[in-house]
Amino acid sequence: MTEGAEAARAFASQYCADAQRCIEMLSASELGRFLELVEGAYRHDTQVFVLGNGGSATTASHMACDLAKNIYPFPPGGGIRPFRVTSLTDNVGLLTALANDRGYERVFSDQLSYYLRPEDLVIAISASGNSPNVVEAMAFARASGARTAALLGFDGGRVKSLVDAPVVLRSSNYGHVENAHLIVNHLVTQWMRRVLAAPVG
């Protein structure tokens, strides 16, 4: 093995070990509360909105896709009520119009002002928890009587105190935080699939 290949192997090994330690730091109680809110939104047929910036925007899209499509244990048309989930990152025309006309800090809160109803669930995904548009959106959601949850990193930032169910991956490594958020997304998806495999009361 060349010196370069050995350095790459050592780096990969250390990265995977660090990522595993980060996953082990996730709080089961925080995850349980997050699952409770998502399941409650389905059971009460309320709308779920997911939002984030950058890599977290793609995770928001991923979560909306998985919860809308991949939670059903039966073929389409099997009598299971669909889950009403929307990512606020996906309407590029509206997102850029709001950013241009109202300012980027308003791109999510303004969308919520159009669609949000009391008891809906708003999920923020943010590594720092301090992005101004995410903070503003979660403050608006709370003031509007919505349920709120978040996947966060670092120390949770300002968003942590604005939500009912924060899940904080306590790491300052953006890659590990974003990896963990995707794992939580799939955890939530598989939990809902298990829930829907049983009769819904």
* Four-CA torsion 18, 22, 25, 26, nearest 10 degrees: -160
Q: In whole angstroms, give the CA distance from residue 12 to residue 76.
A: 41
Q: What is the pLDDT of residue 81?
A: 86
- Domain ranges in the chain? 27-197
Q: What is the pLDDT of residue 199?
A: 59
The architecture that CATH gives domain 27-197 is 3-Layer(aba) Sandwich (3.40)
Mean pLDDT by 10 residues, the chain (201 residues): 86 93 93 98 97 97 96 71 95 97 98 97 98 98 98 97 97 93 97 82 47
DSSP letter string over 49-84? EEEESTHHHHHHHHHHHHHHHTT-SS-TTSSPPPP-
For the entire predicted model, the pTM comes to 0.93
